[in-house]
Each structure stands twice: as C-alpha cells, then as structure tokens.
C-alpha cells in the first residue's frame, strides 16, 4: 500500500518537474533564429561542408584512395559547417535579446561554471538595473540601462563593501559606448577578470550573499550562446 502511494507521489513529482528541452529542439530554435537574422547563413554552411569534403576527396584521389578519403573527410566537413552554424547562432541569439529588459542578466545566467548571478538586485523606476555576480574575481556588479544606472551601481557597491568588507568589487556597465561592455563580449569579459578569491573564500562569500537575496524580474526568453558551443537555455 505504502509502496503504491510512494510510486504515485514520485510520478506526480516527475509530472510537475519542468521538462528538459531536447537537443533537437535546441537546434530547431537556433535554426529559426539564424534564418531570421542571416537568411544566407545556411547557404554558407552548406558551402563550407561541400568545400571541405571536396578538398578531402581530391587529396584522397591523388593518393589513390578517393572513397576512403571521402569517408574520413565527411565528419570533418560536418564539424566545419556546424562550427560556422554555431557562430551564426551566437550572433542571432544576442541580436534577439539586444535592447530587451534584463538582456544582460540573461547572458550572465547562461554562464554555467565559475559564476553565480543574482539578477536585478537594484532597480529604479526607469528600469535601469544592477545584477550581482559572485566568482573568484570577487563581486561583479553588472549594470544595464540609462544614466541612472551609475547611481544604482554606487549604491550597490557601498552595500557590498559594508556587507562584505574586504571582498573586491568590480563594476561593469553593459552597452556599446566607450568604457562599456557589449552584450556579445560580456561573457568573455567576466572570464578574463583576475581571480582574487580562493575556493574557501568564495564559498563563504556566497553563503553570506544568500541572506541578501534580490528582486524577481522577467528575463528575455530564448537560447543563449556559450562561447562557440550550441546555445543553451
């Protein structure tokens, strides 16, 4: 009796859990984005595939083994075309969220390793906002919005310096102007920040930050790129 009840509860829990998007669905979503942003992208990918495959067959023909060379070159040609496709998917994914509320947070939360992001820890009435990121570089405050974002950044920086005395705080403003970091380069910019905390210190910082919390705001939906890999999320 109790066994049946337990199985029912487990089945219900599985039913309530959000379904993971399959890899095929991710590729389909990426294809739609790429087709909308760069209609000729698929043509270029096919061209790269054919060129690499043809080049391999020509080399194999000169060595007297064209069929064998074709089989070997086929996966290489596919990888070359797929790599180019992911580059187009990168560009299309960033373009799809450019200018949207919380676009910076969407990129930050797509970073899988090394950083933990709390989006929109400080927001004003003009929808300027600051996101808080913790990593071995310390605390990184990422602001996006208009002129008011600088004031929000200063307020949040003072709060962090008071709450986490001695922990380095870095400020980053998302944008295309001088001194700002574009959406496309935000991920790489954070990865390049110098490491100033060890694992134990970072664990302590994150434990203390859990009590601070943040605000809940909607983030842009859609796949996000991670370097040159297929977009996730």
The stretches of the chain forming alpha helices (DSSP H) are: 2-16, 23-37, 41-62, 66-97, 103-109, 149-163, 183-191, 199-209
Cα separation, 65 vs 54, in Å, equals 13
Confidence of residue 96 (pLDDT cuts 50, 70, 90): low
Q: C-alpha distances in angstroms, 197 versus 50, 74, 168, 204, 217?
A: 48, 46, 9, 10, 29
Cα–Cα distance, 155 to 152 (Å, whole number): 5
CB 144 within 8 A of CB 128: yes
pLDDT digits (tens, 9 = 90+) for 176-207: 888 888 888 888 899 999 999 999 999 999 98
Enter the DSSP assignment of 20.
P
Q: How far apart are CA 90 and CA 158, in angstroms?
A: 35
Beta bridge partners of 170: 140
126: which 2 tokens? 């003009």
Which has the higher per-residue pLDDT, 183 or 233?
Answer: 183
Predicted confidence (pLDDT) at residue 56 exceeds the cutoff of 80: yes
Structure tokens at 179: 């001194």
Q: Do residues 52 and 76 lie in contact, with contact meaning Cβ atoms separated by under 8 Å?
A: yes
Average pLDDT of the segment spanning 120-145: 91
Q: What is the pTM of this model?
A: 0.62
pLDDT for 23: 65
Q: What is the mean pLDDT of residues 95-108?
A: 74
Supply the pLDDT for residue 103: 78
């Amino acid at each position: 009796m109790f066994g049946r009840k337990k199985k029912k509860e487990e089945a219900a829990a599985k039913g309530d859990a959000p379904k993971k998007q399959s890899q095929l669905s991710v590729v389909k979503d990426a294809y739609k984005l790429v087709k909308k942003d760069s209609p000729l992208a698929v043509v270029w990918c096919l061209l790269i595939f054919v060129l690499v495959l043809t080049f391999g067959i020509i080399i194999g023909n000169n060595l007297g083994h064209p069929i064998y060379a074709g089989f070997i070159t086929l996966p290489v040609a596919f990888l070359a075309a797929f790599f180019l496709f992911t580059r187009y998917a990168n560009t299309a994914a960033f373009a799809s969220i450019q200018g949207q509320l919380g676009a910076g947070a969407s990129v930050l939360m797509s970073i899988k390793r090394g950083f933990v992001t709390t989006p929109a820890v400080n927001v004003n009435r003009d929808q300027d906002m600051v996101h808080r990121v913790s990593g071995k570089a310390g605390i990184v405050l990422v602001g996006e919005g208009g002129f008011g974002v600088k004031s929000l950044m200063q307020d949040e920086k003072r709060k962090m310096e008071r709450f986490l005395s001695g922990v380095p705080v870095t400020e980053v403003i998302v944008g295309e102007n001088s001194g700002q970091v574009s959406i496309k380069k935000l991920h790489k910019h954070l990865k390049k920040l110098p490491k100033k905390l060890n694992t134990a210190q970072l664990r302590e910082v994150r434990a203390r930050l859990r009590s601070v919390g943040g605000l809940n705001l909607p983030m842009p939906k859609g796949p996000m790129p991670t370097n040159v890999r297929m977009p996730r999320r």
